[in-house]
Amino acid sequence: MDTPYIYSTWGSQYVTFYRINSSGYSHKTVHLKTEKSYLYWARYFIRFHHLKHPNEMGNKEVETFLSHLAVSRGVSAATQNQALCAIVFMYKHVLDRELKNLKFGYAKKPRNLPTVLNAEEVQKILKCMLGKYWLITAILYGCGLRVHEALRLRVKDIDFINQSIFVFSGKDRYTLLPQSLADSIKNQMAIAKKCHDKDMCEGFGMASLPPSLIRKCGNAAKQMSWQFLFPSSVRCTHPIDGYICRHHIHETSYAKYLRQAVSKSGVMKRVTAHTFRHSFIKYVLAFYPSGHPADVQI
């Protein structure tokens, strides 16, 4: 098979190299968010070297690019590492080449202490939130979830009998469901069901599922148990399989609402969604010094 070409005509849409059936790649699975990020860095790398084909470049060009990011762009260590991973991935799984012994200037990794809120500050912010956004924040603080884990919760993941939540992510686990949130979650489930029933009546009703799962048991996508707890207000086209589905609300939508709530609350700290997870850990360690019955990880 000929080596896949990363781009065709400049300005046209890039070929998604993750889906090219190249040597050693057919078994790989890449999250869509990672795919978009890697495509960005592949384009950036090629543009930086004046549209030169990656096959015509090697360690020297990669090292120059990574050093440019650290020195000229002043990117963080995490951003530089992401660019490195994207380029290594491209060469290994698309061009079937290994990059070894790379030598470049590393970006400095800052040592920042996380922002932690006390219980009073959390309550001030929660009082400035309503509806699903209030519930998302309460889950972040009460269960210690990451924001993408909370938004990806499906109806089937909630177990009221055992008071637990199944968290599906790169670190699958169970965590405790606070009894104080049970009624609010049931109300949100009713809202999600109403949305799903409307979709079904209009001839849709599919939830967004991973490609491997939709091919294995496609009918599950229309079951209520697989619907997202926090469905998006609009339907969309699945970016890989092309069917019309309803995804969960976007992280940026929550982040915007959170910024407004923090501003109204008068809390003078830099608060992000992950701040509530750090605050949860502080609470757990204060009351359970030897650990928490639920999985406590940062």
Q: Which two tokens stand for residue 72?
A: 């000229």
> What domains appear along the chain, each with residue ranges and CATH number?
1-111 (1.10.150.130), 119-287 (1.10.443.10)
Query: What's the pLDDT score for residue 215?
Result: 78
Give the burial string for 136-149 (b: 16+ CB within 10 Å, else e): bbbbbbbbbbbbeb
- pLDDT of 172 over the 60 cut: yes
Helices (H), 31-146: 32-48, 59-71, 77-93, 119-126, 131-143
CA distance 151 to 208: 13
Q: Lowest mean pLDDT of 88-92, 208-212, 241-245, name the range.
A: 208-212
- pLDDT of 142 over the 50 cut: yes
**Contact call for residues 211 and 241 (beta carbons, < 8 A):** yes
Query: What's the pLDDT score for residue 217?
Result: 75
Q: For residue range 70-128, what is the model confidence (pLDDT) as tens digits?
A: 888 888 888 999 999 999 988 888 888 888 888 887 777 667 778 899 999 999 999 99
Confidence of residue 272 (pLDDT cuts 50, 70, 90): very high
Please state whether the predicted TM-score (pTM) of the whole model is above 0.85: no
Q: Lowest mean pLDDT of 45-49, 65-69, 281-285, name the range.
A: 281-285
**Contact call for residues 135 and 207 (beta carbons, < 8 A):** no
State what percent of residues in the chain have pLDDT above 70: 84
Q: For residue range 7-39, what is the model confidence (pLDDT) as tens digits?
A: 443 333 334 444 443 334 444 556 778 888 888
